[in-house]
Amino acid sequence: MELRLDGKVALVTGSSRGIGLAIATAFARAGAAVMLSSRKAEALAQAAAELPGRTAWFAANAGDPEATEACVAATVQRLGGLDILVNNAATNPYMGPLMGLDIPRADKTVQVNQRALVTWTQAAWRAAMAERGGVVINLASIGGMSIEPAIGWYNVTKAAVIQLTRQLAAELAPGVRVNALAPGLVKTDMARALWEPNEEAIASHLPLGRLGEPQDVAGAALFLASDAASWITGHTLVVDGGALVGVRRVTG
């Protein structure tokens, strides 16, 4: 079944690279007009030039409410509306145990990974979705469902994304569907410190035998954004190569 988004307008945060860019590309190939957003204008311009169809870009810090409002307004003005919002932007300025976490980096992580999800959804609601409906997709993580020693605070914010997804789904129904994706370890620049030194060893423990690629998550996002998922809301779809299932068992 081909999944199409013809006539839809999508806004993807954190979309100059990695999972966000893969999602934006999948949406554009499916017929959507796409607004790219991240902090760096040069990277956005380069990414937009490589996408098919109607695309635009707007540089915005995802954690800045004023930039959020401006980006959403630009999306409606330039592309004619807003039907799909993907809250993908995230940050992880601290790695280590919670006993060493300092307040500035704790607050920065919450600002971008948790609070911004609400402010972007509010802006999209006010600008378009309250009247015309729509779809919101939040990027969580399997870290929000498990314990990891190095990125515990990041994972706390991703657990909050899962709960926020349920809460928003209840509040915005029936006009707006809200779902989340929970990727496992995906080969992105942001996660490079986690996978690059031990890729083969980590992959050998996964039931599907490999780490994720951004395109793996993009396919799931396209499904949730499409009419094929029209009776799904408040759900978190895990895309992790089987990591939460357990260690792969080799049989002879």
What amino acid positions are annotated as catalytic residues?
154
Kindly report the number of other CB atoms within 10 A of residue 199's CB atom: 14
Burial label for 171, CB within 10 Å (0-12, 13-18, 19+), is exposed
CA quadruple 210, 215, 218, 222: dihedral positive or negative?
A: negative
> How far is residue 169 from each of residues 180, 189, 200, 223, measured CA to CA in Å?
10, 31, 38, 17
CA atoms within 13 A on the CB side of 191: 20
Beta bridge partners of 135: 84, 177
> For residues 76-101, b (16+ Cβ closer than 10 Å) or e, as one string?
beebebbbbbbbbbbbbebbeeeeeb
CA 152 to chain centre: 19
Q: Please, what is the Cα angle at 118 between 63 and 70, to 5 degrees?
A: 55
* Side chain identity, residue 57: W
DSSP 8-state code for residue 240:
S
Burial label for 147, CB within 10 Å (0-12, 13-18, 19+), is exposed
- What does the alpha-carbon distance between residue 241 and residue 226 come to, in Å, rounded to a whole number? 23
